[in-house]
Structure 1
Amino acid sequence: MTEDKKSVFATLSEIDVSPYLDKKVGLDYLSWAKAWTLVKRAYPDASYRITEFPEYVLTKDGWVATGRDVDYRQTAAGYEVEAVVTIEGQEYSSKLFVMDYRNKALSKATYFEINKTQQRALVKALAIAGLGLSVYAGEDLPEEKSNEQTSKPHPVRQSPPHQSTNNWSNYTVNYNGQNVLMSLVAKHAMEGNQQAKNFADTLKGQDLEVFKKLSGGK
């Protein structure tokens, strides 16, 4: 009797992606090129495509079809892209909106921004297939979060509860599954990053006051 063939998910989820991770804003992420290389090594016949949609442009008379297809979809909410990966006949897909640094969908986007989002969608589709899924435990790439709703991260104290505020520039918190300096998170919160603001909102009393002091807020 032969052993049952391992599933795609089982095979990809066993690949250790940690040597291939990069860091940005203190968080781990896997580049599309490295992710795709790892998948092709395991499944040489794997392929992917960026979904094309009929193009519509908004005019004074409403949305008008141009008659051509483009690799993004422009909607009233913003620009949406989709990456679809095929491995051994099974499709895995991910849709993302093109976001700005505040995680807001862009009403106007350059093709560079669209292309970057397509690459992110590809990596996320590969994660759904099993590769590097643990990277998404903290949810998504550092400069982005998808338009899907995610739960707010919960801070975990790494220092004694009565630590002096004079030393809180070195105070660390569990932010999106990573130990990050509180001062760094505070800086991004006060610069308008919505994810960091949501995190700050979970802090009570003295913690929030320290966020303000560290970032120069009032």
Structure 2
Amino acid sequence: MKLLVVEDEHTLLQSILEYFTQEEFLCEGSATHADALNKIEDFSYDCIILDINLPDGNGLRLLQHLRKQKKDDAVIIISARDSLQDKITGLDYGADDYITKPFHLSELNARVKALLRRKYVHGTDTLELGNLQIELFSRTASCGQQKLSLTKSEFDLLAYLMNNPNRVVSRQAIAEHIYGDQSDNMPSFDFVYSQIKNLKRKLKEKGCDDLIQTVYGLGYKLSL
């Protein structure tokens, strides 16, 4: 699961990022309105944890922009504003939940997971192509009756390809999806080749259809 935390208080931002990284989320952080706006325009997230008091703008404007773009990223507002009207305003702007500061990280974690359960129960949790099936929330994959043992990166890669069937995706796009803004610090995208190679081997070992195609000079495509 991919998580964006928008919070200008450095200590709190780092605490949230570290906590959810341990919970096996792929986490990115933003401390400003401008940086967060760039991220939500370039990437999609399973959930966004959003502080509405930012040094260079109002977090509610980010939320409003997100909803105008018809993006369905789940959003939890975290704020010191604790009046009933503040909560109503945040929810009216399109937030899925609102939690007031201070809070326990364990409570925030429970709210994120509950929100994602609701999102995937009512949305698309299971993806299928040929005899390959993955379940996004439980992060499991199988070929027929054979369970696949995948690393976190391999599962994220497979889920990304299955969310984009019959579409060529570049190595750069894959790197940005799996590693987010950390991909900017990578000297090359050769590691994507290794991930694809390992994933294809594991699929073949479990009798999966040959779904991952290399489109030379462009990237990779998942299709029957």
- TM-score past 0.5 threshold: no
TM superposition score normalised by structure 2: 0.27
Which gives a bigger RCO, structure 1 or 2 (Cα 8 Å, sep 6+)?
A: 1
Greater helix share, 1 or 2? 2
TM-score by length of 1: 0.27
Bigger radius of gyration, 1 or 2? 1
